[in-house]
Structure 1
Amino acid sequence: MNYLYLVLGILLFVLTVMDLIKTTFSSNGGGKITSAVSKGVWNVFFVASGKNGRSKLLSYAGPAVLISILLVWIIGLWGGMFLMLLSDKNSIVKSSTLVVATPLEKLYYAGFTLSTLGVGDYIATTDSWRIVTSLAAFSGLAFITASITYFVPVLSAVGLQSKLSLYISGMGKTPQQLILNSWNGKDFSSFFDTVSDLCQMLMQHTMNHHSYPVIHYFHNNKVKLAITPAIVLLDEAFHLLKCTSSKDELKMEMLQTTLDTYLETMRESFLKNDEAHSDAPTPVLEPLQKQGLLQENTEQVKQVFEREQKDRRKLLTALLEKDGWSWKQVYGSGD
C-alpha cells in the first residue's frame, strides 16, 4: 500500500467535493478553487483582449469560466479516485481474467465509475474498494446533478444582468440625459415611477452575485448591454438628482440603499486589492443649469462630486477598469 498516493487521493477528492458543495449549494459565493479558476480564466481573456471592454473575445470569458470550473471538478474527482486506486497494486482486476489492472486501466475504471456508466469489465477486489467504488459512483451522480442545478440559474442570472443594463441605458445614454429625459416640466415623476422596478432588479442582481459570483465574468461587449457602465451611469444620475429641488425622498432612499449594497458587494468580492488608475471626470452641468434643475450653483455641485463623492467615484472607476471600460462609456464620448 502506497500511503502517499492514498492520502493525496483522499485529499484531492475531498477538497473537490467541498468546493463543489460550497459553489453549488451555498448562497455566499463560490468555493476557493472555483473562485481562483474563475479569476484566472478571466485574467487570461482580459489581458488577451487588451483590457478593452469592446473586445468580442471578452464575450467568451463567461462560458470559458463555466467550462473551466466543470473541467476542474472532473479532474479533481477523477484524479483523486485514480490516486486512491493507485495506492493499492491489487485494488482493481479485470473481471474476465482477474488479472491486476494497469495504472491506465485504473484511470479508465475511475472514470467510468464517476460517470456512473458501470461498464463492469473491471471490478474491485475487496470490500473496502467496493465501498470506495460505490461512494465514488454516488459522488459522480451528485456531481452531475449539482452541475446542472448550478449552471441553469447562472445563465438565468446573466439574462437578468443584460435586462437591467438595457433598462438603464434605455433611460438615457448619459447621467445628464437620463435626468433631462425624466423631467416633465414640473418634477421627475417619470423617473421615480421606475425606481421600484430598478431597485428590484438591482437587488436581485446583487443577490445573484452572492450566490453565483461567476456571473461577474459574463461580459457583453456592447455598451448598452454592459452591466458595469449602466450601474455607474445610474449612480452618477442619482447623485446629480440629489442636487435638484424636486425629489421623492422615499424613492431616493430606496435607490441609495440598493446602490450602496451593490457597490459594497463589488468591493468585498471583486475589488479587494484593485485601485483606480484614472480620475473620475467632473460632470458637465450646463444642460441641467439651463433647465433650472439644480438647487445649488454649479461650483457647489462640482465640489460634491470632486470631494464628498471622491472615494465612491474611485470605487466606480476601479469597477469600470476591472471590466475593460472607462468613464467615456458613462458620459457619452465612448459610444
Structure 2
Amino acid sequence: MLRALLWIPGVVLIVAALLDVLASSLQSGEGRLAWMIHRPLYAAVRWLAGVTGRRTLLAWSGSLLVVGTFLFWALLTWVGWALVFWSGQGELVGSSTGTPADPWDVLYFVGYTLATLGLGDLKPLGNGWRLLTDVAALNGFFLFTFAISFIVPTAQAQADRRIVALRLHSWGGTAQGLILTAWHDHPEGLAGLIGDVRDDLNALDAQHKNTPALFRFHDRHPQESLELALPALDEALTLIEHALDLPPPRGLRILRSSISSVLDTYRRVYGGRAPVPPPFPDLAPLRAAGLPVRPDTEVHAALAALGDRRSLLRAMTERGGFDWQAVET
C-alpha cells in the first residue's frame, strides 16, 4: 500500500527541482534549493582553506558550487522519477525476460531515460507508463538545457569579474594607486577613471543580481580578484570626493550608486554584522605627488560618516582572504 503512494513524494521532488532550475536560470537571484546547497558547500571550502592555511583553495569555490548545484538538481529529479516508477508495481520489466524490475533496475532505467539514451533493456507496460517514460525523457532534456543556461552565463560573469579586476590592477590596483595613475597618466584625469569603468560596474551590478552566488566565487591570483578591486575602486572614489580639494568629477556619484547596488546584493547574500571600519588612510603619498588634499581632520570626519559602507567593503576583502592594507596603498 505504501509503495503505491511513493509517486506523491516523487512528484514533489521533480517539481521542486524543476522550479528551482527555472528560478535560477530565468529569474533574478538564485532558487531556494540552490541557495540551500550553496551555503554548506561554500562553508566547506572556507573551512578547508582555513584549516590548511591555503587561500588558493578558495579559487575552487565557484567550480564546486556550479557542479554541486547541477548534481543536486539531477539527483532530486532522478530520485523523484525513480519513486514514481517504483510505485507502479510490476509495470517496469526486462525487455527480453519480462522479469519485474528491482529498485536498482528502476534507478538504472530512470538514469538512462533522463539522459535520453534510450537503451531499451527495460520497458514499461501499459500506455500510461509509456507516456510517463516520454515525460521523464523530456524532463531530462529540459533539466540539462536549463542547467546549461545557468552554467554558461555564470562562467561568463566570472570571466567578466576577472576582466574588471585586471583592468583596475593595471591602473594601479590600490585606492591611491588608481588616483595617482588617473591624475598623472590618463588624458582625461580623474574623470577618465570614472568613464572607463562606468559600463563595467553597471554590468557587474546586473550580473550579481542575477547570480548572487558570484559573491562566493574567488580567484587564485590577487590581480584577478574583485574582492580587492572593487573595494579599492570605491575607496579611491571616496578619497576623490572627500579628500581632494577639487570639484567631484562628473559621473562620480552615479558610479558610487552602482557600487552601492552591488553592496546591497552582497549584504543580502551574507547578512550579519560587518567588521569594524578599516583605519583611516595615510594621505601622505597623495600630498607628495602634488595633489590638493584637504586637512586630515576634515577627511577623517567624512570617512567616519561612511563607516558602514567601508566596513562592508572590508568584509568583502577579508572574505576573499586579503588584508585591507592591500586595498589602500
TM-score of the two chains, using structure 2 as the length reference: 0.92
Deviations 1:19-59 (A, max 9, x none): 11111122x11111111212221111111101899622111
Deviations 1:80-129 (A, max 9, x none): 00111122222211122222111111111111111111111111112222
| 1:318 matched residue in structure 2 | 315
Deviations 1:261-296 (A, max 9, x none): 21122122x2222x2344411110122234453453
Structure 1 segments, 4+ long, off by >4 Å, are: 51-54
| 1:285 matched residue in structure 2 | 283
Q: Secondary structure of the equivalent of 1:330?
A: helix
Percent identical across equivalent pairs? 28
Matched, 1:309 2:306: yes
Q: Which moved more, 1:135-144 or 1:176-185?
A: 176-185
Question: Structure 1 pair 236/54, CA: closer, same or farther in 2 (3 Å)?
Answer: farther
Aligned positions of 1:63-142 closer than 5 A: 63-142=63-142
Taking only aligned residues, the RMSD between alpha carbons, in angstroms, comes to 2.2
Letter paired with 1:73: W
Compute the displacement of 1:176 (Å). 1.8
Compute the displacement of 1:175 (Å). 1.5
| 2:165 matched residue in structure 1 | 165
Question: Structure 1 pair 51/227, CA: closer, same or farther in 2 (3 Å)?
Answer: farther
Q: Which moved more, 1:285-294 or 1:225-234?
A: 285-294
Alpha-carbon separation, structure 2, partners of 1:52 and 1:79: 36
Alpha-carbon separation, structure 1, partners of 2:317 and 2:53: 9
Alpha-carbon separation, structure 1, partners of 2:173 and 2:81: 54
Alpha-carbon separation, structure 2, partners of 1:51 and 1:84: 43
Letter paired with 1:302: H
Matched, 1:155 2:161: no
Compute the displacement of 1:215 (Å). 2.5
Alpha-carbon separation, structure 1, partners of 2:196 and 2:211: 22
Q: Which moved more, 1:313-322 or 1:243-252?
A: 243-252
Question: Structure 1 pair 184/323, CA: closer, same or farther in 2 (3 Å)?
Answer: closer
Matched, 1:34 2:34: yes
Q: Which moved more, 1:99-108 or 1:246-255?
A: 246-255
Matched, 1:330 2:321: no
Contact map agreement 2:277 2:307 (CA 8 A) in 1: no
Alpha-carbon separation, structure 2, partners of 1:22 and 1:221: 30
Contact map agreement 1:52 1:324 (CA 8 A) in 2: no
Alpha-carbon separation, structure 1, partners of 2:68 and 2:256: 37
Letter paired with 1:106: V
Give the length in aligned residue pairs.
327
Contact map agreement 2:85 2:92 (CA 8 A) in 1: yes
Alpha-carbon separation, structure 2, partners of 1:263 and 1:54: 27
Letter paired with 1:283: P
Compute the displacement of 1:198 (Å). 0.6
| 2:22 matched residue in structure 1 | 21
Question: Structure 1 pair 205/184, CA: closer, same or farther in 2 (3 Å)?
Answer: same
| 1:10 matched residue in structure 2 | 11
Contact map agreement 1:188 1:246 (CA 8 A) in 2: no
Compute the displacement of 1:62 (Å). 0.9
Structure 1 gaps, min length 5: none
| 1:193 matched residue in structure 2 | 192
Compute the displacement of 1:194 (Å). 3.5
Letter paired with 1:48: L
Contact map agreement 2:182 2:192 (CA 8 A) in 1: no
Alpha-carbon separation, structure 2, partners of 1:327 and 1:179: 17
Alpha-carbon separation, structure 2, partners of 1:127 and 1:84: 15
